[in-house]
Amino acid sequence: MGDTDRVDTVQRYQGHTGIVWSLAFAPDDRILYSGCDGHPSILLWDVANKEAVNQLVQLGTIWSLALTPDGNTLASGSEAGTVALWNVAQPTMAALLHTHYGYPKALRAVDWSPCGHWLATGDNHGAVLRWCVSGPPVPPPRRFKAGDEPITSVVFSPDGNLLAATGGVQEEYHAQLWAVATGMLQETMPVNSELTSLVFADGGRRLLGGSRDSMVYGWDCEAPTEVTVRQIDRRKCHYAGITAALHTNLMVGYSDTYLYLLQIDTGEVVRQLPASGEIAFAALDASLSQLACAGPHHTIALWDLTEPAVSAQPRLLVGHTNSVKAVRFSPDGRRLFSASLDRSIRIWDVATGAAIAVLGEHPQYVADVAVSPDGGRVTSIGQEGTLRIWDVESRGLVHILHAPGP
């Protein structure tokens, strides 16, 4: 908090575990409300004492907060597509009045099938959708129901026969395997923490998942009930983000000061680079010669891994005006695609670092991008529940597809 007549920070409140996205003062300025993407969802602060006096729980990132003029009712809007109304007349005894549902589904994850005919998406309401995009026309998607909780990652196997997804909340996290042709659920694999990424390794024989608490889970796709778990050194990996070429398995981890490339099977550090800000998203190109990293800051750091680690410095790609949500390389490694909270998708020239194009704007923020196997199309998914397919060369919009409502 800052005094409007001063530029220095006069009060600092700490209590959320995630990024704070929304703030609102009570009409009398005695209570401050804050919403975040972690826990607790909403905190109520006594401004004078700088103490949290209550916490409210709502599924999904809290994007907006608003109070009635009398200060007795708080409305909170979530990325899960819900608006909650709270009785906050007595902040220490705040209670839920009502939750409104029925808003468009926010899409969270997307992947192309190897053949380029299918897309898979995961949303905030536990639905995995398989879209046939070989048309036009594009028929309604097939729904693979995974549960009722947010899907954080979807990925096709290299042969296109299996689809893996992961999601859940609190202590009910899991990964699932589906048969693409039939839509039949093959297996549900419970895990102990939220998986942030999935990848098929060893030519599709293994499924790997990286978690927020630096754990790496591995399953044999022919016997997925058996799991191996590896704890990566927490000092070197606050976030187990897995990226992989088809046969080479590497994990991107980071600490407060360094960025690490680690072997998944052994945890051995292959490369250590100085971090250029907080990292939340990373991608390796197919040749393992380029690494792109992004996060809450507005820039993308692009590393040339062929340079000696001692002298390596990232090229900074500047253009986004808000946090970058995802980065993806084209199959040939010549282009980089990025998605941002500024609602745009940008294309970058990897060799020069120059911005090539901006692909329109979603009505709300762009959650993820995926590049087709031939590199000719890129798909973006938005918080508003639309899936958009773009032609990379013409920059034209090919399809706008709408996720079914809850």
In a domain, 7, yes or no: no
Listed in order, strand segments (DSSP E) in 124-214 are 127-132, 142-145, 151-156, 162-167, 174-179, 185-190, 195-201, 206-211
Are 306 and 384 found together in one domain?
Answer: yes
> What pLDDT is recorded for position 7?
43
Tell me if 256 is assigned to some domain.
yes
Q: Which of 40, 36, 79 has its CA nearest to residue 296?
A: 36
User: What's the pLDDT at 4?
Assistant: 42
311's CB contacts (< 8 A; 6+ apart) are none
- Its domain, for residue 55, covers 20-100
Residues 83 and 128 in one domain: no
pTM score, whole prediction: 0.72
Please count the structural domains in the chain: 2
Q: Is residue 390 part of a domain?
A: yes
Which of residues 100, 135, 164 is at a domain's end? Answer: 100
Query: Is the CB of residue 116 less than 8 Å from the CB of residue 160?
Result: no
| Domain of residue 58, CATH code | 2.40.10
> How do residues 203-255 score in pLDDT, each as one tens digit?
888 898 888 777 888 899 988 888 888 777 666 565 556 666 555 677 777 66
Rounded Cα distance between 259 and 319, Å, is 23
pLDDT at 47 over 90: yes
81 or 51, greater pLDDT: 51
* pLDDT bucket at 195, cuts 50 / 70 / 90: confident
The dihedral of CA 260, 263, 267, 271: what is its sign? Answer: negative
Report the alpha-carbon distance of residue 242 to residue 217 in Å, rounded: 11
Q: Is 64 among the domain residues?
A: yes
Same domain for 128 and 52? no
Q: Rounded CA gap, 86 and 68, in Å?
A: 11
From 13-27, 258-272, 284-298, the region with the lowest mean pLDDT: 258-272
pLDDT at position 152 is: 86
pLDDT of residue 380: 94
Q: Of 38, 70, 100, which marks where a domain is finished?
A: 100
**Higher local confidence (pLDDT), 382 or 390:** 390
Does residue 200 or residue 3 have the better pLDDT? Answer: 200
Higher pLDDT: 123 or 25? It is 25
* Cis preceding linkage at 40, omega within 30: yes
Residue 15 lies in a domain: no
pLDDT in tens, 83-139: 788 999 999 999 988 876 655 567 888 999 999 888 999 888 788 889 888 777 778
Domain end point (choices 100, 118, 142): 100
**10 within some domain:** no
Question: Do 207 and 253 belong together in one domain?
Answer: yes
